[in-house]
Amino acid sequence: MTPRVAPLGGYAVYVELCREVSLECNRRVHALYYALSSRAGDLGVTEVVPAYSSLTIFYDPRRVRWREIARAVEELVRDAEVFTPPPPRSFMIPVVYGGEYGPDLERAASMRGLSVDEFVRIHTSRVYTCYMLGFTPGFLYLGDVDPRIAVPRLETPRERVPRGSVGIAGRQTGLYGIESPGGWRIIGRTPVVTFDPRRDPPIPIRPGDRVRFYEIGEDEYRELEGVWIEEVQ
């Protein structure tokens, strides 16, 4: 589809590239995100925030008007080379599944007619793409999960979900960067730190990167607790 570009309040521009949630669509979003980010200074852009199928561009109104941003977006979209984002980086995330770390695992497995071990095996067998970051600082939206383990969100969200919790909501799996309320079904928790506001950048995983989970026990959880996540070289 032709990108839809529209002004938002607060000196921002909204760009919708497609209307479905898919890896192909999301890759187009990432490509435009990196293209805009690399030209941010020249364009008067202060921040670019990618989502599943769209992105929001914040700009300095003293330097540029929204229609100029819109024209720049249209030019970038027409340039086929724009849609080659940087190579994805890879991250391995250790997880303790079930028990107090994953209070929804047994129920999620039962909903899909699977044993807990089979559910975990399926979850750890796939490499996930980081679609975007949000809704709280450091939250990772990762997809897509195998349809066999896709389960709906909780009917009533929890008031507190611990930092590092790994959850599933539909075809997405996610990781909580901080303690916060949340409605995803929590199946496990990682001991490593994936978000730290004191670091630059505060989260090393960026849109388009690849993530794979692997199972660990409680002893290893305690050994790794508080360790900063590193890219797999």
79 has a pLDDT exceeding 80? no
Question: What DSSP string runs through 141-206?
Answer: EEEPPPGGG-BPPPSS-EEEE-TTEEEEEBTEEEE-SS-EEE-SEEEEE--SB---TTSSSS-S--
3-state secondary structure 90-147: EEEEEEEECCCCCCCHHHHHHHCCCCHHHHHHHHHCCCEEEEEECCCCCCEEEECCCH
- How confident is the model at residue 116, as a pLDDT? 98
CATH class of the region 4-83: alpha beta
Q: Give the pair of three-digit tokens for residue 159.
A: 């008031």
Q: Give the pair of three-digit tokens for residue 162.
A: 């611990």
The residue ranges of every structural domain in the chain are 4-83, 90-224
70 has a pLDDT exceeding 70? yes
Identify any residues that bridge with 129 across adjacent strands, giving them in sequence order. 143, 210
- How confident is the model at residue 141, as a pLDDT? 96
> Mean per-residue pLDDT for 182-195?
97
80 has a pLDDT exceeding 60? no
C-alpha distance from residue 176 to each of 40, 130, 142, 168, 188 (Å): 29, 13, 11, 11, 11
Q: For residue 97, give the amino acid letter.
A: Y
Asked if the bond preceding 197 is cis, omega within 30° of 0, the reply is no
143 has a pLDDT exceeding 80? yes
216 has a pLDDT exceeding 80? yes
* Most confident by average pLDDT, 24-33, 35-44, 171-180: 171-180
- Whole-model pTM: value is 0.87
- How confident is the model at residue 38, as a pLDDT? 86
> Mean per-residue pLDDT for 42-54?
91
What digits encode the pLDDT tens for the residues 6-32?
998 889 999 999 888 888 888 888 888
H or E stretch at 215: strand 210-215
Residues 90-224, CATH architecture: Beta Barrel (2.40)
